[in-house]
């Protein structure tokens, strides 16, 4: 090292100045920081911590880059779950649009055999049919056909749920028929459609339908003619073929007699199209040979049809063994000691 003027090496002098500067720098930094804080306090600003400074710097960088926005997460739901949630909101007070949507979803699920949708839709269907107002909405939207198609599926594919939903439907249909006013002839098409669709499956619906049709026929003869034009004979033929209850058969025979007790030109076209009805009536009589009330109602109907004078109808009555049924009934009455009843039956049957 080179000696300095004081006789000390140059390195030692430099080290002294460096140590003096190092000892003086913390105090200077502290005083400078305190002055800054006092200035912020006087201006109403709080001193910022290093963490806050880093946050501000990050925000400044983000704003400088145009701002980074967090993308909102989008939750997607399956269509099936949304449909199930919709079914839970459907009831008898639902709008016609909701009822139409319910039936459309049920029809689509029936084609795909989607059991989950079918079960949920059938539960909603049953809730709708709990009131007369809801049943009318289903009726106007052709919902009976949709449920019948679903009921034809196997039980494991949703057919059982459709059958359970048919119970409130049939009950609502019976209540509607019991309350329908025979003066409102505009209800005849709906009456015939309900009877055609549900009368075969449920005996209660069939009985209510027979009573309602009888009220319409007794109110005006024009109503009887309108029911004939709407296919009443075909509907009653299906009911007689499906149900063998003697009381129901007797009511059906009486209704057939009243519907056919019209001019021949009104009855013959309809009866000729449904000529197998003659054979079905004869089979019903053979199933209850000792029920004389049933025998009388059936033989009385044969007598009315024979008086129409149509060869096709007469041949059908002959093939149905109506004469044998009359002789059997007369013999049973005579052997039972009711000779006067046998004579009366012979006179009525002709």
Query: Which residue range forms the structural domain that includes residue 160?
Result: 79-172
Count: domains in the chain: 1
Compute the Cα dihedral for 246, 250, 256, 257 and give only its sign. Answer: positive
The pLDDT, as a whole number, for residue 23 is 46
Residue 84 CA to residue 119 CA, distance in Å, equals: 10
What rounded mean pLDDT belongs to the chain? 81
Give the CA distances from residue 257 to residues 182, 299, 302, in Å, rounded to whole numbers and listed in that order. 19, 11, 9
Domain assignment present for residue 83? The answer is: yes
Give the CA distances from residue 315 to residues 233, 266, 274, in Å, rounded to whole numbers and listed in that order. 19, 20, 14
**pLDDT tens track for 134-179:** 999 999 998 999 999 999 999 889 999 999 999 999 999 999 999 9
Domain assignment present for residue 323? The answer is: no
**pLDDT tens track for 10-47:** 444 444 444 444 444 444 444 454 555 555 554 444 44
Give the CA distances from residue 280 to residues 8, 108, 245, 277, 296, in Å, rounded to whole numbers and listed in that order. 142, 38, 14, 5, 16
**pLDDT tens track for 307-337:** 998 999 999 999 988 888 888 888 888 888 8
Compute the Cα dihedral for 327, 329, 332, 336 and give only its sign. Answer: negative
Q: For residues 260, 262, 266 and 272, what is the CA-based torsion angle, rounded to 10 degrees?
A: 30
**pLDDT tens track for 266-304:** 999 999 999 999 999 999 998 888 888 999 899 999 999
Is 80 exceeded by the pLDDT of residue 213? yes
Contact 232, 192 (CB under 8 A): yes
**pLDDT tens track for 255-274:** 999 999 999 999 999 999 99
The pLDDT, as a whole number, for residue 260 is 94
State the alpha helices, DSSP H only, in the chain: 10-43, 50-64, 79-87, 96-112, 115-128, 132-140, 143-151, 159-179, 188-198, 203-219, 221-229, 232-242, 246-260, 264-273, 277-287, 292-306, 311-319, 322-335, 339-349
The pLDDT, as a whole number, for residue 80 is 52
Domain assignment present for residue 214? The answer is: no
Is 80 exceeded by the pLDDT of residue 115? yes
Q: Which range has the worst mean pLDDT, 78-87, 90-99, 101-110, 216-225?
A: 78-87
Domain assignment present for residue 204? The answer is: no
Domain assignment present for residue 38? The answer is: no
Domain assignment present for residue 160? The answer is: yes
Phi-psi region of 279 (alpha: psi -120 to 50; beta: other; left: phi over 0): alpha
Higher pLDDT among residues 350 and 245, named by residue: 245
Contact 289, 295 (CB under 8 A): yes
Residue 82 CA to residue 78 CA, distance in Å, equals: 7
**pLDDT tens track for 35-86:** 555 555 544 444 445 544 455 555 444 444 444 444 443 433 344 566 778 8
Higher pLDDT among residues 25 and 197, named by residue: 197
The pLDDT, as a whole number, for residue 54 is 52
Domain assignment present for residue 17? The answer is: no
The pLDDT, as a whole number, for residue 28 is 47
Q: How confident is the model at residue 350 (pLDDT cuts 50, 70, 90)?
A: low
Domain assignment present for residue 144? The answer is: yes
Q: Measured at the alpha carbon of residue 17, what is the angle toward residues 14 and 20, in degrees to the nearest 5?
A: 150
């Amino acid at each position: 090292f080179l000696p300095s003027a004081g006789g000390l090496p140059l390195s030692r002098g430099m080290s002294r100045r460096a140590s003096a500067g190092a000892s003086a720098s913390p105090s200077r930094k502290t005083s400078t920081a305190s002055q800054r804080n006092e200035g912020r306090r006087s201006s109403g600003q709080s001193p910022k911590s290093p963490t806050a400074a880093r946050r501000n710097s990050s925000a400044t960088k983000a704003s400088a880059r145009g701002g980074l926005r967090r993308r909102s997460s989008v939750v997607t739901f399956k269509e099936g779950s949304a449909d199930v949630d919709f079914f839970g909101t459907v009831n008898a007070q639902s709008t016609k649009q909701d009822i139409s949507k319910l039936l459309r979803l049920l029809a689509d699920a029936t084609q795909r055999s989607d059991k989950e949708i079918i079960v949920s839709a059938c539960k909603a269907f049953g809730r709708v049919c709990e009131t007369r107002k809801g049943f009318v909405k289903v009726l106007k939207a052709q919902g009976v056909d949709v449920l019948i198609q679903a009921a034809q599926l196997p039980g494991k594919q949703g057919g059982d749920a459709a059958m359970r939903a048919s119970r409130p439907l049939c009950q609502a249909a019976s209540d509607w028929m019991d309350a329908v006013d025979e003066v409102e002839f505009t209800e005849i098409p709906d009456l015939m459609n309900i009877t055609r669709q549900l009368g075969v499956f449920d005996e209660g619906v069939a009985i209510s339908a027979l009573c309602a049709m009888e009220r319409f026929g007794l109110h005006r003869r024009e109503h009887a003619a309108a029911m004939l034009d709407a296919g009443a004979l075909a509907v009653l033929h299906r009911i007689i073929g499906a149900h063998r209850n003697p009381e129901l058969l007797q009511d059906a025979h009486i209704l057939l007699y009243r519907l056919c007790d019209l001019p021949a030109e009104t009855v013959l076209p309809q009866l000729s199209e449904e000529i197998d009805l003659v054979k079905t009536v004869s089979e019903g009589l053979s199933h209850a040979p000792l029920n004389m009330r049933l025998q009388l109602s059936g033989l009385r109907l044969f007598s009315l049809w024979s008086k129409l004078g149509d060869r096709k109808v007469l041949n059908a009555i002959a093939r149905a063994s109506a004469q044998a049924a009359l002789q059997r009934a007369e013999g049973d009455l005579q052997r039972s000691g009711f000779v006067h009843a046998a004579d009366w039956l012979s006179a009525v049957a002709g």
